[in-house]
Amino acid sequence: MSARGIRTGRWLRPVFPTTSDQVRHLLRLGVVCGLAVLAGCAPPGEKAADTAADAPPVLTFTPTAYGDLPGWASDDPTAAAAAFERSCARFARQADSRQIGPDGRYGTVGSWKPVCAAVAAAQGADAIRSAFAATLTPWAITDDDPSDDLFTGYYEPELNGARTRSETYIEPLYPRPEDLVLVDLGNWRDTMRGERIAGRVVDGRLKPYDSRAQIDAGSLNGVRPIVWLDSPVDAFFLHIQGSGLVKLPDGSRTRVGYDGHNGHIYHAVGRTLIEWGEVTREDMSLQAIRRWMARNPDRMRELMHKNPSYIFFRELTGDGPIGAQAVALTPGRSLAVDRRFLPLGAPMMIDVDYPDETGAPLNRLVIAQDTGGAIRGVVRADMFWGAGAPAERLAGPMAAKGRYWILLPNGVDPRVPSR
């Protein structure tokens, strides 16, 4: 989101181009965040991103039988198959020799295409399950510090807005400014893969962009907003989620999605409320932050400005929201992962200590299709729950332990990186 959704992590100071024209080709960061970002449960991996001296995590891959995957036989994989076909459409446009994921350990596009063909040809839940099982091998993924393992959730909010400002619609939603420069550091150093910065060029040097407080004070008054929202609180959470549906006064809707960030380090406002003694760590949730803002309108901006990170948006057409793999996300079946360790487009089975939409254990087949600045770690993921209030109720409190298995083409051994 995005997500992604949304999704604002740690930024390093690199060597960079000096004009925005030279970096138009750079990747954009999907932005997605769940409870861990809001609440100050330090997202796993943020500590590792703070200092270059921290040792990288050690990944362990263990081949696993399908009979040992919780929920494999009972989960209906139909929705996951539809999500996977969207990822396959991306693979179809790429060269067979292209390596999938970091270190080339997850195969090539060519090794994934037969899987895509088999799943696309299958009809019905049993046939789809058999197609996955016949072409893919499950591998359990663990790391050397399981205390950091965490699953959170995110969603697409629904908001009220208008094309013009009025007494009702007062909060601007800005497009990406023309002078904003986004830099993907992985284009310069392999060791910086997954790290990004942003700013504006001043006298041939990249300088920090305006903070949230500066933008709220009017520093972008020359930029025309996409829409005006009726709630600064809704706008703030839209910045965290990374995409949303805006209902206009005539009843029509428009979808907005992430189109850049100001490069400032994300700060969890939930952590601030805990430090202020306003909300206990045990009671922290997205909903708790909303309640506090409603009770303290005079301090609302003070809290918001503790997070200097700011997100810019664009209008989207067609299905959405769009994840980091540039495909539309599927509610309950799209997962945001840390692409420093895992590939986008891969099916994964998850076993999470959290109830699903029906209250049953969350054991299901999902597809890795998004990333996020706070989604940092080997076993660290964000579940996309969909749009609106029901999805918010599922995503808001989610902060659970869990595990997952990646399903890779038969013959691909992730224990042996190709580069």
Q: Quick one: tokens of 364?
A: 């299901």
pLDDT at position 54 is: 61
pLDDT at position 419 over 70? no
pLDDT at position 146 is: 84
26-46 average pLDDT score: 34
Residue 8 located in a structural domain: no
**pLDDT, mean over the chain:** 86
Residue 33 located in a structural domain: yes
Residue 72 located in a structural domain: yes
Write out pLDDT tens, residues 104-126: 899 999 999 999 999 999 999 99
Residue 417 located in a structural domain: no
Query: Residues 374, 319, 240, CA angle at the centre, nearest 5°?
Result: 25
Which of 345, 337, 383, 333 shows the shortest CA–CA distance to 86? Answer: 345
pLDDT at position 389 over 60? yes
> Would you call 85 exposed, middle or buried from its count of C-beta atoms within 10 A (0-12, 13-18, 19+)?
middle
Residue 156 located in a structural domain: yes
Given the DSSP bridges, would you call strands 243-247 and 158-162 parallel, antiparallel or unpaired? Answer: parallel
Q: Detail the DSSP E strand segments found in 328-379.
A: 334-336, 347-355, 361-370
Ordered DSSP codes for 190-235: GGGTT-EEEEEEETTEEEPPPPHHHHHTTTTTTSPPSEEES-HHHH
Residue 242 located in a structural domain: yes
Q: Say how far apart CA 84 and CA 334 lie, in whole Å.
A: 9
197-216 average pLDDT score: 95
- Confidence class of residue 162 from pLDDT cuts 50, 70 and 90? very high
Residue 331 located in a structural domain: yes
pLDDT at position 2 is: 38
Contact 332, 384 (CB under 8 A): yes
What SS3 state is found at 78? helix
The owner of tokens 């990288």 is 56
Lowest-confidence pick of 292-306, 340-354, 361-375: 361-375
Residue 76 located in a structural domain: yes
Q: Which domain covers residue 159, as residue numbers?
A: 20-409
- Confidence class of residue 187 from pLDDT cuts 50, 70 and 90? confident
Total count of residues recorded for the chain: 419
Number of domains forming the structure of the chain: 1
Q: Say how far apart CA 9 and CA 265 lie, in whole Å.
A: 6
| Biggest CA pair distance of the chain | 62
Q: Which CATH number fits the domain that encloses residue 41?
A: 2.40.240.50
